[in-house]
Each structure stands twice: as C-alpha cells, then as structure tokens.
Structure 1
Amino acid sequence: MSNPTVRAIVTDIEGTTTDINFVHKVLFPYAHSKLPDFLRANASTPAVAEQLNAVRHAMGSPDAALDVVIDQLLHWIETDQKVTPLKALQGMVWADGYQRGDFTGHLYDDVAPVLRQWKASGKALYVYSSGSVQAQKLLFGHSDEGDLTPLFSGYFDTHIGHKRDATSYQRIIAALDLSPDAVLFLSDVEEELDAASQAGMQTLQLVREGTQAGTTHACVTRFDEIVL
C-alpha cells in the first residue's frame, strides 16, 4: 500500500502491534490475581473509589459491598468484557506490574522501527484500543523496545465510543481535525475496520498469526509491508 495522502495513522494494539497472547496470558491473569488485594488496600483513595462507584452504577447496585464489586470485576475479566471502569482499574494494577518489572509491554519486532520511521517522516501517530488510555501508555511506555510514548500524539479508548461503531471513528476524525481520507486505521478486526471505513478513514488489516484475513480491506502481515 502506498498513499501519500495519509497524514495520521491510528493503530489498534491487541493483535495489531501486540500479540493477543500477551494480553490474555499475561495482562489479564495478572490483573485477575492482583486486583482483589489492590482494591482492598486502595478502595478509599479517590481515583479507585470513583471507579468502584462506576462499577456499582454499571451493576445497578449503588450500595454493593466491596467484595460483591470485586466478584463482578473478576467475572468481567474472565468473560473479557469491555467495561470502562474495569479497564481503568486494570490499568492501575498493571502500572504496579510494569513499575515492579514483572513484565514489559510486548510488541511485534516489526512495529517500533516503522513507528519511528513514520514519526520521523512527519506522520502523526495515535492509538485506539478498548484498553484504557492509561493501559495504552503503560504498554508503550514500558515496551520491549523501551519508552515509545514520545512517538504518539494522542490516545483513544472506550470513552470515545466502541470500536465497532462508526460514530467512534467520526469523533476521532473530529478530534484530529483532518479529512477522513487523510487518516489510516490499522486493526486485525474486520468489524472495526468496517466501522472506520464507514466514517471515511482509510483502512488496512494486520493479519498476524491466528488472524483470519477478511475480504473487504487490504491486508498486510507486518508493519514493514506498509508503504506511506
């Protein structure tokens, strides 16, 4: 793919820059094991209390006891629910893990060199993931390739909307203040690419190991196959 009109690239994380196994076999189990003790120790701190109340609101139980809230959060992790307060709390737990050196943020080996190349050539780089903005910054800030956060101009999560909803991408386009066709969205998920395309973005599917290539969008297997 070669298109000089692209001025900004918005990338997904899971299955695109990062192996899905890192998320499901490292990050999720770590949050599942550490979250209960973390919440019991920090429930009264304002940032945590705010998210716990958001969980209670989502449950429809404003007076739910902490242990009931914890059980709900663990169930959401086990069933891979994209619930915004869960993502925020997971991000807090992962921050501890990254800072302790329990793990680093996985990146495919083709990602960082190409991101640096795009940044040097004047392209604006953004992330859009269902993981919280905090979790996104942690992954790229403590990545296998070091701190990559200086490469990015901004981050989007479920606060902007769900990833299979075209209006989410319309909001991103508005935030970037670019014409839709000047923005390229990268993802491994065809339904997300469909939504971005409906909003007028250019799209490209990353077909990593375990990903099924779709029929609607152009495909590559690595970032270094993308020519801008």
Structure 2
Amino acid sequence: MGSLTVPACVSTVLLDIEGTTTPITFVKEILFPYIQDNVKEYLQDHWQEEECQEDVQHLRLQAEKDKELEGFVPIPVNEAEIQQIIQGVVDNVHWQMLLDRKTTALKQLQGHMWRAAYASGQVKGEVYADVAPALRKWKEAGIKLYIFSSGSIEAQKLLFGYSIEGALLELFHGHFDTTVGPKVQSESYRKIADHIGCSTESILFLTDITKEAKAAKEAGMNVAVVVRPGNAALTDEEKASYPLVNSFEQITLHPVQ
C-alpha cells in the first residue's frame, strides 16, 4: 500500500463518509447512542413545535405499516395523554433502531435531533487527521469535491459543518445520498457524473467498500479503496483488484488547468 498518482484527467473527487473520511465507530458509538439516550427529552422539549409534530405523525404512519412485524411497537393516538404518546414514540424509535431499520420517518427524526445536537456543541463530526488538510489542498488545486453517502444530505452537511476540524462544509461543491440510487449499482455513479456535468473518467471515487468501488469502476470512474483501522478486512482478491490507500496524503492529484 503506497502512493497513488491519479490520471491528469481527474478534476473531481467523490467521497464516501463512513470508513473513508470518518471512523465507522462515530455513527455506531456517538450518533446512534445519542438518539437512544436523548429522544425522550428531545420530544418533551420540542413537542409543541410543528416540525416535531410532523415527525411524530410520520412515525405513526410508519407504525401503521409495521403492524404485522414481530415485536411491533404501536404509537398511541393523539387523544391519549401526551406523556403516554411520547413514551410510545420513544419505544417505537428504540425498537426500529434495535432492528437497524432505515425508514424515512426514523431518519427524519434522527436528522432533526442531530441538527440540534451539532448546533449546541453536544456532538462534533469526526474526521480522520489526514482528511481536512487533503481536502483543502485539493480544493486549492481546483479539484471539485462531492460526497456520496447512504446518510441523508442533511446529516452529511451537519457532520462537515460542525466537524472537530472546524467548518469544512464550504470545501464541497455538492452532496449525494441514495435518492440518486444504491451505492452498489453502477447506474448511480453515471447519474452523479451527469448531475455534476462531467465524464465518469474525470472522477476519482474513494470508498472503503469494494462493492461500491466495483460499481463506480464499472461506470468508468477511477477508484481507490481506503483502508482504515476498524474497517472490514479485505480479501486477497479485493486487495489485488483495487488501488489501496490508508491516508489521503498518499493520493496525488494534478492541479486543474
């Protein structure tokens, strides 16, 4: 695993987050536990706000769809006591998170809670030490920077807007989440290139997941697999199939003329 010199045609870098710019443990050990520990207090503090009521309504609609699932946790109707409803929402959220569900209703509430946590300084986005210096260097060289993550665009912006390295959000030209398509399908990467307005050949995609690297490569992108502590181990075949880096410092990009 050594230095990686990228073709001179590359003018854009597309970045995954978990395991690439940010430790996987940040989501599992910081963000998710924050929701579990604080959802009741958040609901009590924001109950009268329209946004909170919309979040609860969406969770209630999701609960209606989930009635047949094992262990289903209902949410009381509006006629019930407020504290009873709140406890129902808390229990439902904990149940969904225990099953590692990614429902839109759950993600919406989580996003609003994280927004409040970042803004208050209770949470700061983690990035590896090599990330911010490299992003600034690439930006100065005229490279355009984008994110493609399974996390929502709002969650992406919060992480980089309130990072341990300060406000990094201004370094990025744009953000993509899975509304553009699954990260393991090559068509998603073609759509991203079309949206950016460049060829797939002019994009370097950095990820820790070889299935994502394979999809991006099939779409015509340059790829490199980022190897970080705590990431899933790679097979010998995977190691032989893709360029590997364990720091952004190892990546050399040509300045855009």
Q: Same fold (TM over 0.5)?
A: yes
- Residues 39/56 of structure 1: CA separation in 2 closer, same or farther (3 Å cut): farther
Task: Tell me which residue corresponds to 2:221.
Answer: 201
Q: Shift in Å at residue 31 of structure 1?
A: 1.3
Q: Shift in Å at residue 44 of structure 1?
A: 5.7
Residue identity opposite 1:227 in structure 2: T
Q: Do residues 56 (structure 1) and 81 (structure 2) align? A: no
Q: Do residues 153 (structure 1) and 173 (structure 2) align? A: yes
Q: Shift in Å at residue 43 of structure 1?
A: 7.5
- Residues 10/82 of structure 1: CA separation in 2 closer, same or farther (3 Å cut): farther
C-alpha distance in structure 1 between counterparts of 2:176 and 2:52, whole Å: 20
Q: Deviations over 1:126-185 (max 9, x none)?
A: 111111111111110111110001100001112222222222222211111111111111
Q: Deviations over 1:166-222 (max 9, x none)?
A: 222222111111111111111111111122122221111100012223332211000
Uncovered stretches (5+) of structure 1, i.e. residues with no partner: none
Identical positions, percent: 38
Task: Tell me which residue corresponds to 1:10.
Answer: 14
Uncovered stretches (5+) of structure 2, i.e. residues with no partner: 68-73, 77-84
Residue identity opposite 2:75 in structure 1: A
Residue identity opposite 1:16 in structure 2: T
User: In the alignment, is the contact (CA less than 8 A) between 1:51 and 1:88 conserved in 2?
Assistant: no
RMSD: 2.4
Q: How many residues align?
A: 227
Task: Tell me which residue corresponds to 2:82.
Answer: none
Higher relative contact order (CA closer than 8 Å, sequence separation 6+): 2
TM-score by length of 1: 0.88
Q: Shift in Å at residue 56 of structure 1?
A: 2.5
- 1:1-228 to structure 2, matched below 5 A, reads 1-2=4-5, 3-39=7-43, 41-42=46-47, 45-46=50-51, 49=54, 52-53=57-58, 56-57=61-62, 60=65, 65=75, 70-211=90-231, 212-213=233-234, 214-215=238-239, 216-228=241-253
Residue identity opposite 1:33 in structure 2: D
Determine which structure has more spread, i.e. the larger CA radius of gyration: 2
Q: Shift in Å at residue 53 of structure 1?
A: 2.2
Look up the SS of the partner of 2:150 in the other structure.
coil
